[in-house]
Amino acid sequence: MIVGIPKETRPFEYRVGLNPAGAEILSQHGRQVYVERDAGVGAGFKDQEYESAGARIVYSGEEIFARADLVLKVARPLRSELDWLKPGAALAGLLHLASARRDKVDMLLEKKITSIAYEQIQLADGSLPLLRPFSQIAGSMTAQVAARLLQNNWGGKGILLGGAPSVPPAEVLILGSGVVATHATQAFLGLGAHVTVMSDDLEGLQRIFDRFPGIVTLISTKRNIERATIYADVVVGAALITGERTPILVTREMVGAMKPRSVVIDVSIDQGGCFETSRPTTHDQPTFVDEGVTHYCVPNMPGVVARTATHAFVNAAMPYLIRMADEGIDAAIADDPALERGVNTYRGGLAHLNLFEER
């Protein structure tokens, strides 16, 4: 098996599919690893580090895709990269195919590509071990993003998250009770904000309430969301339904009723977003104003803390990568139910039909 590590080509994506330590481990397991030149530069990894780890450096993405039996990416591949994939190969990455264009899914099917979505690898308890590190990082980043966007010089209403003596803190509403929501809650509380967490998962709310005594928790209903968004200075969308498009939780009317210059951070945007007014943005132009509210909708938030994100991700991913290297991809999928849940397309067929309903 040849493992290929291309350089990410999406704007402001600095992560890489495998760090030098991971390349060394796969090399020790008898797999040849090819790395595109400068693939790790954004995360602080030099080509020489990969070579010392036993990998070979190649000089074009096209060569990586043409050689590799297994391509390890971070972001969903571009159309050109899908063109380069050799028929019958395997592709692993944060694919988010539920919100992808149908023609890209069709290309995977036509080429009989086995595609594995890291964000859908799921243990028996429902946890998502490979998505977890990125979710932890994105959740932690929401507070620092919100603090900046509330500043006047960023178009905000000019308030400090933690308030000041005699001045109350900012009101933060977090929609969701999973990993992103938990780490967002921790980060906002650390800066002194007043936090309300809303979810339709009672067990999730219980976990957050037990971990952070004193926060407000509410069941996620249309009425509760309407009432909470009116007074919120910051609303964080952290809802997730594994393998499906995120449902719209906050309508345009709700956004329009929010206080002017409030902030919306839609962490769910990579799965379609949970605000009706959301649309994907980029790190160079991360915000837009709709209904008088500042929206931050960057799909790859951890992409700009690439070194931390890559190390954390590879630490979580290595058991699965080693299994695929040792057993072969088909056998690994057959033997590991968690890995099987991450398979989206398999040798020309759809593994999860609900992902690709006509949109």
Q: Token digits for 57?
A: 């450096």
295 is catalytic: no
Compute the distance between CA of residue 304 and CA of residue 15 in angstroms, rounded to an integer. 8
Extended beta strands in the chain, E state: 2-5, 32-36, 56-58, 70-75, 90-94, 114-117, 171-175, 194-199, 216-219, 234-237, 263-266, 287-290, 293-296, 343-346, 349-350
- Burial code (b: 16+ CB inside 10 Å, e: under 16) for 135-148 equals bbbbbbbbbebbbe
User: For residue 188, which of 172, 176, 166, 211 has the smallest C-alpha distance?
Assistant: 172
- Report the length, in residues, of the chain: 359
Write down the catalytic residue from 96, 194, 295, 352.
96
Contact indicator for 305, 10 with CB cutoff of 8 Å: no
Contact indicator for 355, 117 with CB cutoff of 8 Å: no
270 is catalytic: yes
Compute the distance between CA of residue 50 and CA of residue 33 in angstroms, rounded to an integer. 9
Write down the catalytic residue from 183, 266, 270, 352.
270
Catalytic residues: 96, 270
